C-alpha cells in the first residue's frame, strides 16, 4: 500500500531497537516532511558512522584517530587503568569528572555459558599494556581499578583478573562499596559512583 521508497525506509527503521512497525511508519512520514538539507545531513551521518569510527589501539575506546581523546590527554595518569566491560561504562565514570586515569575496555565479562571465555576478552592486551608501562618507568606503580557491574559475571571476571595479574606486582582494586548487587554501572548515579571510586579496595 505504501510507495516503495517509504516502505524501504519503514523496513530499515523497524530494525532499530524499540521501534515497532507503527513507530517506524510515523518516523518515515515525519522524515518525508523534513527539508532536503536535514535529510542529506542525516544520511551522511549514518554513512560516516562506521567509515570514520575507529578503535583506540591502546584502550579499545572508540575514536576517529589512532588514539582516543582520553589516551592522548597528557594530563591524565596513564598508570591508573580503570578496566570496564564495555564502552558505555566509560560515560557515567567520565560524567563524575573525578577520575583522572585512563581505561581499558575488556569487551565483555567472563560468562562461560554464553561462550565468553577469558580468551575472548582483551585480557592479553591488558597484560601487555601493564608490562609496557612497567618497562617505561620501573619506579611508577601501576594501578588497575576493576569497575564491573556487581553481578556474578562481574565477580567472576574480577577474581580471574586478580589471579592472572597478581604476578605483575601491581596494585589491583575493585569498585564495590555503595554499588548494590546486580546494579548496572551505566545507570548508577554520580554520587554513588564517586563513593565507589573513593572506597575502592
Ligand atoms: Zn584510548
Q: How confident is the model at residue 71 (pLDDT cuts 50, 70, 90)?
A: very high
How many angstroms separate the alpha carbon of residue 171 from the centre of ligand 1?
21
Are 47 and 79 in the same domain?
no
> Is a pLDDT exceeding 80 seen at residue 152?
yes
What ipTM was estimated for this complex?
0.99
How many angstroms separate the alpha carbon of residue 184 from the centre of ligand 1?
23
How many angstroms separate the alpha carbon of residue 156 from the centre of ligand 1?
25
Are 80 and 172 in the same domain?
yes
Task: Report the C-alpha gap between 143 and 154 in whole angstroms.
Answer: 19
How many angstroms separate the alpha carbon of residue 118 from the centre of ligand 1?
21
How many angstroms separate the alpha carbon of residue 24 from the centre of ligand 1?
36
CATH number for the domain harbouring residue 125: 3.40.1360.10
Q: How confident is the model at residue 180 (pLDDT cuts 50, 70, 90)?
A: low
**Each residue's pLDDT tens digit, 5-64:** 999 999 999 999 999 999 999 999 999 999 999 999 999 999 999 999 999 999 999 999
Q: How many CB atoms lie within 10 A of CB 28?
A: 20
Are 82 and 23 in the same domain?
no
How many angstroms separate the alpha carbon of residue 57 from the centre of ligand 1?
7
When divided into structural domains, the chain yields a total of 2
Are 111 and 36 in the same domain?
no
What DSSP string runs through 126-178? HHHHHHHHHHH-TTSPPEEEE---SSHHHHHHHHHHHHHHGGG--EEEE--TT
How many angstroms separate the alpha carbon of residue 104 from the centre of ligand 1?
8
Give the model's pLDDT for residue 1: 81
Q: How confident is the model at residue 194 (pLDDT cuts 50, 70, 90)?
A: confident
How many angstroms separate the alpha carbon of residue 117 from the centre of ligand 1?
24
> Is a pLDDT exceeding 70 seen at residue 177?
no
Give the model's pLDDT for residue 3: 93
Q: What does the block give as the cell for 24?
A: 517506524
Q: Which domain holds residue 117?
A: 68-198
What residues have CB less than 8 Å from 8, skipping those under 6 apart?
none
Assess if residue 57 is contained within a domain.
no
Are 17 and 46 in the same domain?
yes
Give the model's pLDDT for residue 160: 96
Give the model's pLDDT for residue 200: 83
> Is a pLDDT exceeding 90 seen at residue 172?
yes
**Each residue's pLDDT tens digit, 96-137:** 998 999 999 999 999 988 889 999 999 999 999 999 999 998
How many angstroms separate the alpha carbon of residue 65 from the centre of ligand 1?
10
Give the model's pLDDT for residue 191: 82
How many angstroms separate the alpha carbon of residue 68 from the centre of ligand 1?
4
Amino acid at each position: 500500500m505504501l510507495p516503495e521508497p517509504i516502505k524501504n525506509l519503514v523496513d530499515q527503521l523497524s530494525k532499530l531497537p524499540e521501534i515497532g512497525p507503527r513507530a517506524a511508519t510515523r518516523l518515515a512520514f515525519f522524515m518525508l516532511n523534513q527539508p532536503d538539507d536535514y535529510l542529506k545531513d542525516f544520511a551522511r551521518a549514518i554513512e560516516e558512522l562506521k567509515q570514520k569510527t575507529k578503535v583506540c589501539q591502546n584502550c579499545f575506546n572508540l575514536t576517529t584517530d589512532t588514539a582516543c581523546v582520553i589516551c592522548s590527554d597528557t594530563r591524565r595518569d596513564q598508570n591508573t587503568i580503570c578496566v570496564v566491560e564495555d564502552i558505555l561504562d566509560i560515560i557515567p565514570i567520565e560524567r563524575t569528572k573525578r577520575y583522572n586515569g585512563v581505561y581499558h575496555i575488556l569487551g565483555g565479562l567472563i560468562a562461560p555459558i554464553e561462550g565468553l571465555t577469558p580468551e575472548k576478552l582483551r585480557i592479553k592486551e591488558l597484560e601487555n599494556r601493564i608490562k609496557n608501562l612497567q618497562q617505561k618507568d620501573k619506579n611508577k606503580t601501576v594501578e588497575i581499578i576493576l569497575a564491573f557491574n556487581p553481578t556474578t559475571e562481574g565477580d567472576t571476571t574480577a577474581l580471574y583478573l586478580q589471579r592472572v595479574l597478581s604476578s605483575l606486582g601491581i596494585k589491583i582494586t575493585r569498585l564495590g562499596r555503595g554499588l548494590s548487587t546486580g546494579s548496572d554501572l551505566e545507570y548508577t548515579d554520580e554520587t554513588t559512583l564517586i563513593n565507589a571510586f573513593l572506597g575502592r579496595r
